[in-house]
């Protein structure tokens, strides 16, 4: 018979490992029942991220445009109210 007093208590890293393995088993059984959910939650986001990476890598590198040379004679004489 199981009793919480006699059961081994996990602490620290072992506790985290047991919890993580339980979560993975739960995820596996949930995915087994609902493949559309797995595709929508796991596969599609990965594909979209990969697509975004490919698009950004394939896009041409736009070089910095040349600096504009500004001269005062490009504008008309300033019109001030005060002197």
Q: Tell me whether residue 61 is in a domain.
A: no
Q: Over the chain, what is the mean pLDDT?
A: 85
pLDDT at 66: 83
Q: Tell me whether residue 83 is in a domain.
A: no
Distance of alpha carbon 78 from alpha carbon 5, whole angstroms? 90
Domain extent, residue 13, equals 1-56
Tally of structural domains, the chain: 1
Contact 38, 31 (CB under 8 A): yes
Q: Tell me whether residue 37 is in a domain.
A: yes
Q: With DSSP H G I counted as helix, E B as strand and the rest as coil, what are the percentages for the chain, rounded to 5?
A: 60, 0, 40
pLDDT at 1: 59
On the CB side of 49, CA atoms within 13 Å amount to 6
Q: Is the pLDDT of residue 49 over 90?
A: yes
Q: Tell me whether residue 17 is in a domain.
A: yes
């Amino acid at each position: 018979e199981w009793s919480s007093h006699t059961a081994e208590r996990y602490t620290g890293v072992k506790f985290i490992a047991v919890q993580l393995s339980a979560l993975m088993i739960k995820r596996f059984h949930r995915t087994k029942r609902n493949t559309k959910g797995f595709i929508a939650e796991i596969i599609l986001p990965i594909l979209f991220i990969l697509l975004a990476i490919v698009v950004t890598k394939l896009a041409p590198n736009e070089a910095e445009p040349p600096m504009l040379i500004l001269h005062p004679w490009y504008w008309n004489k300033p019109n001030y109210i005060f002197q």
